[in-house]
Amino acid sequence: MFKLFRYSADRLPVAIILAISCVDLYLYFAVQNTYLLLLYWVLMIFPKVQICAWNHHHQHTRTFRFKPVNRVLEFFYALHTGVTTNLWLLHHVLGHHQNYLDQTQDESRWKRSSGETMGEWEYTLNVGLTAYPRGYQVGKQHPKAQRAFVFCTAVTFGIVALAVWYKPVAGLLLFVLPMITGLFVTSWATYDHHAGLDTKNVFAASYSNVGRLYNVLTGNLGYHAAHHFKQGVHWSELPQLHEQIKEHIPPGLIRGVRGTS
């Protein structure tokens, strides 16, 4: 039997995300009203920020069985999140996950060089502005992934540039601004995952959030200690993994109450 998805749990979130992409494309070609497009951008900031979590999951465990289909999905992910093909693979999977216990090396480091903890805005700007160069730097140790990152980033940015050239206002409000917003809001959202937890203990180096609403929206990203314990585990299986290891997680690092947001 032909199977496109590697995990059936991905079908609904991918359908929703691609539906949003279809709305974006329709508005790009059909709507001329600047104020309506501006309102749409503002209203879609929160939904599109959630897409960043699903892009993250895809970088850990590819959604489809076939590379060309994954590349198409990654293009639309990039339009929503500002994170192109293999950027999170390099920066996050091969970078941050290997180095998050060492703040001198972590690609998403929350410590200043002085050893002090960054504030949220400082961290957000630091991680957001350095995401692409740090991802490229990690890629020097992974040339095949780096080449795909550079090529797909060039293609994505080229298409976006053409969209802005053809319809400047629509291109800016439907693609450019959401990409910038997605990248920096994603950076801001990751501050609470590890900031202040200076330890070599994998179970004590992440905050976990077991709140139901948070995990529905982010694909169980709240089970963050479990995610770092076994980063290759598919997002749909993280709650079960959390149950297996939760006794090792310090109680103060588990936020939220099961069944609530």
pLDDT in tens, 107-147: 999 999 999 999 999 999 999 999 999 999 999 999 999 99
pLDDT band with cut points at 50, 70 and 90 for residue 38: very high
CB 96 within 8 A of CB 59: no
CB atoms inside a 10 Å sphere around CB 151: 14
Return the residue matching tokens 């060039």: 154
CA gap 131, 84 in Å, rounded: 11
pLDDT of residue 1: 53
CB 145 within 8 A of CB 88: no
For the chain, domain boundaries = 8-194, 202-255
CA gap 118, 112 in Å, rounded: 6
Mean pLDDT of 241-256: 94
Give per-residue pLDDT as tens, 72-96. Answer: 999 999 999 999 999 999 999 999 9
Task: Indicate whether 261 pLDDT > 70.
Answer: no
CB 224 within 8 A of CB 208: yes
Mean residue pLDDT of the chain comes to: 95
CA distances from 88 to 44, 186, 250 (A): 22, 11, 28
Mean pLDDT of 161-165: 98
**pTM (predicted TM-score):** 0.92
Give per-residue pLDDT as tens, 193-205. Answer: 999 999 999 999 9
pLDDT of residue 176: 98
CA gap 110, 215 in Å, rounded: 23
CA gap 250, 117 in Å, rounded: 21
